[in-house]
Amino acid sequence: MRRSLKGALLWMMPLGVLSACGGAPDAAGAEDALSERAQSLISAPPVPASGNIADSMLYVGTVAVGGAQQDGASAQPGYYGYRVQVQAGSQLKLEVSHLGSSMYLDTGLFLYGPKDANGSYGDTVLAQDDDSGYGQLSKVGLVTLPQDGEYLAVVGFINGGGKQFRLQVDCVGGACLPNPQPAPTGHTLTLVQSPITAGLQSALDAGNIVREDNISHLTAFDFAWTYSGETTLDTAAAAILARGQYRGYRNDPAPLVLTYAQLETSMYWQFRPLHPAILATYGNGTENVQVKRYYREFSTGPNGDNWRTLNVILFPQSYKVVVYEQTAHEI
């Protein structure tokens, strides 16, 4: 996995020299700049036959949490990977920053891992972004990593010839924060939706085709946690109900509090494979996972009765809130 000669030479230059490029426009004409702004979305790197996404990288380096790494992109479209050592429960922000990155560079950002005993990061994307940063640069504002180990942050580019980029990795919450203080009374949670895994989606899809009158939905959220201790189930539920799509459950006068084990018995049988899969995907194996259930029913006319339950599942040490909603209706 070698970079171009130009990239290698840039790699050996002092950081101060490289950072002089950051934020400064390239010597390119307006027509060239406009064409670069129109670039399409950057997809995740292709999965190699080995199943280890690192084998699709042009280059693999290292960046520390709280640090940054600057590099020169190769002339051809490609992907650079950066090892990031993480402790369990860390919450990170990853960004191809405006400082140190060339103007008009279009990037994608992806995270994989942790590396297993065979040295593979696998091929599951844990977090990704295309254009949430400055201009067409990429930023993952929050990703929670329940397991410790070595992860691979990947920067992809399609117009990188002669351009620089700087990958910044910061701790924004959880176990990587030094000396956190207790949460203030009345604290609220800001939720950031994260994609569910392919395995969970497959199990959900399999259940949803069994009966047309039983449908379930699964949504996962991260929340940044900058305090010591744990948030509460009531706080997590309040953050969910504050979202517009769940407003119909706000009038439940007596929501139930369940253990995670009790949740399984209330799930329609075709969705019960989700029960262990959710726990394995989002839990750290030791935390007290809690559930708050809301119920509503309504009618849309003759033979139009609907019954719905909303289960708010809190993973307090993994900083996750998972919503499992199941619906039934007359047919």
pLDDT tens track for 10-26: 232 333 322 333 333 33
Residue 9 and residue 62 share a domain: yes
Residue 216 and residue 108 share a domain: no
- Give me the CATH number covering residue 310: 3.40.1000
Which of the four pLDDT bands, split at 50, 70 and 90, describes residue 188? very high
Pair 314, 327: CB distance under 8 Å = no
- Give me the CATH number covering residue 98: 2.60.120.380
> Which residues contact residue 159 at a Cβ distance below 8 angstroms, ignoring those fewer than 6 apart?
36, 39, 77, 104, 105, 106
Higher pLDDT pick, 100 / 234: 234
Among 6-20, 150-164, 186-200, 264-278, the range scoring the smallest mean pLDDT is: 6-20
Range of the domain at 261: 182-329
> Is the pLDDT at 315 greater than 50, yes or no?
yes
Rounded to two decimals, the pTM is 0.77
74 exposed, middle or buried (CB, 10 Å; 0-12, 13-18, 19+)?
buried
> Is the pLDDT at 249 greater than 50, yes or no?
yes
> Which residues contact residue 8 at a Cβ distance below 8 angstroms, ignoring those fewer than 6 apart?
2
CA–CA gap between residue 225 and residue 247 (Å, rounded) = 25
Domain end marker among 149, 174, 199: 174
Element (H, E) at 227: strand 227-228
In the chain, the number of structural domains is 2
Residue 122 and residue 81 share a domain: yes
So what's the pLDDT on residue 171?
96
Residue 168 and residue 243 share a domain: no
Residue 17 and residue 143 share a domain: yes
> Is the pLDDT at 1 greater than 90, yes or no?
no
